[in-house]
Structure 1
Amino acid sequence: MPREHEFDLPVRYYETDGQGVVHHSNYLRYMELARIELLNATGYDYAKIEEAGILLVVAKATVRYKSPARYGDVLRIWLRTERAFGARIDHTYVIKVGERIVAEAETTIACIDREGRVQRLPRELEIDE
């Protein structure tokens, strides 16, 4: 699995609050989309991973908001897999508008089965350095 991926995403009107600023909750959605985009870029289909009984769930998320993004902005979302080994995946994110950093974040993803029991990541998803 590649370690990094980035893509552009325009801010949609419904993602903003009454002041026209992206609502803070949307950054978690952007990060989820980034993880799916990373899998897609490598030829993995998350739906097929789930069909195999492997669930990747957010165990921890930290977001630091640096400056506002607004309707009409184009976000550049960068994701890096720092570690993917055992039963967890650690990611870092930087979200920018142009050169301006809008948010920085980290997540820890846990690998579980349908009953919620921790299980080892599939070997093809592992990165250990």
Structure 2
Amino acid sequence: MKAETWIFLITTIFLALVSPAYWFITGDWTGTSALVMTTLLTLMVAIYLGFHASRMEPRPEDRKDGEIAEGAGELGFFPPYSWWPLWCAAVLGVMVFATAFGAWWLFIMGAAGGVLTLSGWIFEYYRGEHAH
């Protein structure tokens, strides 16, 4: 994780140099604010990764004497395909559309559909084809 920490630190330094330069060249508050927030976000990730890298054992790719075979094995759980995110996004689109046009009745229908689709997404591993 030390390599990832350095990548984010270098990105933070770059953005810290670019942000004031952007302000002096353009005088644009919006872009400057976005660059400053991006700088702070990359700094936050760098601090998080650095904190955890110092508290965990080095991975094989972090050590100079690490071998490729040491990284073999299970990497984690990767969920299979799912249609629920599509339906959740569609319901959210309906709710945003209803908010934009002031159709409270459509928003309520979207919220009810949102409860159903979000429940389906949360509980998809407890029933059906991918049940555990």
Fold agreement, TM-score > 0.5: no
Bigger proportion of residues as strand: 1
TM-score interval, normalised by the smaller of the two chains: under 0.3
Bigger proportion of residues as helix: 2
Larger Rg: 2
The two structures have a TM-score, normalised by structure 1, of 0.22
More relative contact order in 1 or in 2 (CA 8 Å, sep 6+)? Answer: 1
